[in-house]
Amino acid sequence: MVDAQKLKVDLTDVNLFGNDAAELEDETVFWSYALELPELKALANPSNQLQILRAYKGEGKSALLRMLSAELRKRKEGTIVVIDSTAADLSPGIDSLDNDQWVKGWKASIFATVAAELGTEVGGAWSDDAMQLVEEAERTGKRPYGLVSSIFRRLKFSGSGVEMVDSNLRPKEGVVRRKLDDKSTEVWLLLDEVDRDFQNTLIERRRIMGLLTACRYMLQKVPQLRMRLAVRPNIWATLAQEFESLTHLKQYVMDLHWNEDGIRRLLARRVEGHFRRQNLSFEVVQLLERNADRKDQTLIDLAFEGPMKWGKNVRPPHVVLSTLSRFRPRWLVELCRAASKLAVLRNHDKITKEEITPCLADLGDQRRQDTVAEYKNLCPQLAEVMSAFANSREEFNTRELYHLIQNKIIEHVPVDIAGKGKVGVRDVAELLFFVGFITAKRSHDNGKYEHYSFSQNPTLFQSRSNPDQGMTWEIHPVFRQSLGLRDEMGRVTRRQDGREL
């Protein structure tokens, strides 16, 4: 029989819902709750030379790449070399609008990185190729300098004396291709944050497009390479509008999507991980065996009081949380963490809807700050632009949206958007759509409706005569309480903390 007291969730556990950023999570905590998504199998398949993981910030790209790296390192068959990096670390120092220069620069940088990693595996380095690999590993700090290298680094030659060749100046493509020619080694490059600090300028677009093109060319030259890249859908959509050649890479794209089932499994794993870290795995197994038909919900019920009132109905906690976090795991974790703190203050054993609702205002504030930090290089005035919607409505038609932008933003804020000249009403509207502050909404006669993000329809706002294609515009729910917005009935989504806007 399961001891109910042993399986009582400790809401004071700071690791209960995990870290916001998977790449920074403690190893033990991460693996106690790591959720293996279906996308991992395709990412780990060596038959797929190139895979581009497309997902928004906070949807789990870094977690998937971390799990992929661990799985690859455990493989026994063949020799696997895994390189975990970011695009920022490998980006060539180029200030050019020339596509070819960017492609060449990326190829040189990636081949040098691969050479350095291969150099850490070299034993006796007697051939010229082997010495080049060792030198590259030493130069980048992946391998300590050997005795001979240390001596030669300290010698100075002048006049007709011996002159050393700087190994950093030697192209690395040839030596890498020869090293991998025996086909017994696979090199996996896992490249996160391809679009970090993206500015929608011509040179930024060329930089990312240069990387994607370089990857495609390199895989043709070196079939032993496996590349996994992560990029946001809105950035991809922006590139696709300018570069027709991006269609050649579409077959390699994999979208990461979350639904209610996925969020349910994620929450269940967090609770299960909490007990695993307390060495209560056996008790959890017993509990789940007794509730085999609703395992996930059984775990969630240990931490949340449910079902919760939702509109005119009641729904399970994971459904409510899915909607409020708009299916982004990072937002979900932040909301759960804040709600658990409030439940502790109220001496509650479980998190209720009454703990979740008051946290929405602060969550919206944080989301605005995150959005500003993510896109400040695109628009330095973004915080003012979003704040202009405070105390307004949740939903607008295009005429109403343009009117608010003109009267509250254009006439008062000197908005500067990278890549634009003089900024007009449509430019600001498209910016808000691009960063996810507003979404497009298509309503149907049967009362149902659908939402569209920028990545799903990037052409919205681009036509002067038909900018909305028959849709209205809705401010993302995560911002509503923070901004004190009014619904279609004029009711205000008030802050629960009593603070003034």
* pLDDT greater than 50 at residue 162: no
Give mean pLDDT, residues 96-107: 92
- What lies within 8 Å, CB to CB, of 485 at 6+ separation is 389, 391, 392, 393, 394, 475, 479, 492, 493
Dihedral angle of Cα 161, 162, 168, 172, to the nearest 10 degrees: 140
Model confidence pLDDT, tens digit, residues 411-462:
999 999 887 889 999 999 999 999 889 999 999 888 788 888 888 888 899 8
In this structure, what are the phi and psi dihedrals at residue 124, rounded to the nearest 5 degrees?
A: -75, 120
Round to whole Å and give the CA distance between 440 and 435. Answer: 13
Whole-angstrom distance, CA of residue 493 vs CA of residue 361: 10
Say how far apart CA 264 and CA 266 lie, in whole Å.
Answer: 5
Band of the pLDDT at 77, cuts 50, 70, 90? confident
- 153 pLDDT more than 50: no
Whether the CB-CB separation of 482 and 445 falls below 8 Å is answered with no
Predicted local distance difference test score (pLDDT) of residue 158: 43
Read off the DSSP letter of residue 486.
B
Per-residue pLDDT averaged across 266-292, rounded?
91
Question: What average pLDDT score do residues 114-140 get?
Answer: 63
- Read off the tokens for 59: 């949807």
For 210-327, strand residue ranges (E) read 225-231, 253-255, 308-310, 313-315
Specify the pTM. 0.79
At residue 113, what are phi and psi to the nearest 5 degrees? -65, -45
Q: What is the mean pLDDT of residues 2-13?
A: 78
Taking Cα atoms as reference points, which of 354, 361, 271, 365 lies closest to residue 320? 354
Residue 185 CA to residue 345 CA, distance in Å, equals 56
Domains and CATH numbers, the chain: 38-255 (3.40.50), 260-351 (no CATH), 371-483 (no CATH)
Res 179: pLDDT:
75
Supply 495's token pair: 């802050």
The reported pLDDT for the residue numbered 137 is 56
Least confident window among 17-21, 130-134, 259-263? 130-134
Which range has the worst mean pLDDT, 17-26, 168-177, 327-336, 397-406? 168-177
What rounded mean pLDDT belongs to the chain? 84
